[in-house]
């Protein structure tokens, strides 16, 4: 969340849907990140159908990082 990669989280009925992006379209970790996100959410919300969608609009920029995220990246 603090890196600005999660654009939207929606809960409708029994479906949890997450819209997220990556820093670059060619990220070699894209499948790993999507699957890990799904697995974490499914483990936490066992009663929900979880769907994680990769989106590219709007494009990510470092301006989307929260203040807390910047502090974590700086090692504080």
What's the whole-model pTM score?
0.83
Q: Residue 22, Cα to own-chain centre: how many angstroms? A: 8
CATH of 6-73, one of 3.30.300.130, 3.40.50.720, 3.30.1490.100, 3.30.70.100: 3.30.300.130
Edge to edge, the sheet with strand 6-12 lists 6-12, 15-20, 49-54
By DSSP bridging, strand 15-20 and strand 6-12 are antiparallel
Q: Where are the domains of the chain?
A: 6-73
Pick the closest to residue 49 from 72, 4, 8, 17 (CA basis).
17
The 10s digit of each residue's pLDDT in 22-68 is 989 988 999 999 999 999 999 999 999 999 999 999 999 989 999 99
């Amino acid at each position: 969340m603090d890196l600005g990669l999660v654009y939207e989280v929606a809960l409708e009925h029994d479906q949890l849907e997450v819209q997220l992006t990556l820093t670059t379209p060619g990220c070699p970790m894209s499948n790993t990140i999507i699957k890990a996100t799904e697995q974490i959410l499914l483990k936490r919300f066992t009663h929900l159908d979880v769907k994680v969608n990769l989106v590219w609009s709007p494009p990510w920029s470092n301006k989307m990082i929260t203040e807390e995220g910047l502090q974590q990246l700086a090692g504080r």
